[in-house]
């Protein structure tokens, strides 16, 4: 089990003016990364992940759509052998406690479909704000990531595919909130522009690894097998 003493809490303040950084320090965050100016969600998550020091790293949205116990569940899945574990809002076993507005739901699915322009594999949900990583894998992924906006999730999936890391999507319990800063039309347009940039960047070879760059990683973990049919007995 993951206990409170096993966790490092890193809060990233992406250039806000509402006192978030000071509030996080008073609340006891282990690290507070204060960006001098607002650069976007991708830049904020990248800064937080690269600052983290734990063996396994996870990030989640500040609107608390996913409860703390779900973060622990993803961390345990990484400890079980996966390089990357992604919460999926569209998994068959996902529970939606509070639904998002219809426009956001439709927009989210359209955006997720658009990611196939740059991704090889079929992924159920690239944009959910709950993901966990082996720390050494996270350092590679976020060390090569470039996108500062909402398309950073798609870039991560692209890098996972290119570098051959294992990834699984798991069900979540999601409680959508009006605290979210997502604006469907605005952010969808930005994401589509970023998808085109990701595609151009990949075609230029800018995501290519240097020879031996993955040699420092620990031996590839054994991915847990999918459960098969139960054996019968006489």
**Per-residue pLDDT tens for 39-76?**
999 999 999 999 999 999 999 987 778 888 889 889 99
E strand intervals along 46-188: 56-60, 84-88, 95-98, 130-134, 167-171, 173-175
Nearest to 59 by CA among 151, 124, 175, 153: 153
pLDDT one-digit tens code per residue, 74-131: 999 999 999 999 999 888 887 775 555 555 565 566 776 777 778 888 888 888 889 9
Question: Cα–Cα distance between 146 and 49 in angstroms, integer?
Answer: 14
Residue 189: pLDDT band (50, 70, 90) is: confident
Question: Cα–Cα distance between 155 and 234 in angstroms, integer?
Answer: 52
Cα diameter, the chain: 69
**Are the C-beta atoms of 178 and 95 separated by less than 8 Å?**
no
HSE value, Cβ hemisphere, 13 Å, CA-based, for 14: 16
Nearest to 24 by CA among 54, 44, 53: 44
DSSP letter at 210 equals: P
Question: Cα–Cα distance between 175 and 96 in angstroms, integer?
Answer: 6
| pTM to 2 decimal places | 0.83
Question: Cα–Cα distance between 110 and 106 in angstroms, integer?
Answer: 6
């Amino acid at each position: 089990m993951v206990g409170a003493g096993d966790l490092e809490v890193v809060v990233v303040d992406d250039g806000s003016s509402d006192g978030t950084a000071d509030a996080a320090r008073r609340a006891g965050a282990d690290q507070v990364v204060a960006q001098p100016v607002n650069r976007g969600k991708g830049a904020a998550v990248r800064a937080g992940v690269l600052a983290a020091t734990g063996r396994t790293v996870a990030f989640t949205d500040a609107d608390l759509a996913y409860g703390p116990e779900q973060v622990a569940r993803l961390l345990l899945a990484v400890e079980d052998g996966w390089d990357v574990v992604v919460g999926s809002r569209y998994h068959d076993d996902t529970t939606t406690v509070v639904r998002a507005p219809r426009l956001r739901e439709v927009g989210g699915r359209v955006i997720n479909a658009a990611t196939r322009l740059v991704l090889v594999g079929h992924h159920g949900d690239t944009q959910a704000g709950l993901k966990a990583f082996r720390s050494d894998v996270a350092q590679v992924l976020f060390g090569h990531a470039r996108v500062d906006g909402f398309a950073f999730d798609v870039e991560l999936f692209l890098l996972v595919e290119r570098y051959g890391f294992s990834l699984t999507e798991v069900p979540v319990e999601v409680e959508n909130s009006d605290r979210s800063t997502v604006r469907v039309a605005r952010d969808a347009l930005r994401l589509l522009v970023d998808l085109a940039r990701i595609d151009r960047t990949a075609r230029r070879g800018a995501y290519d690894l240097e020879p031996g760059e993955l040699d420092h990683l620990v031996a590839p973990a054994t991915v847990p097998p999918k459960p098969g049919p139960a054996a019968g007995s006489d």
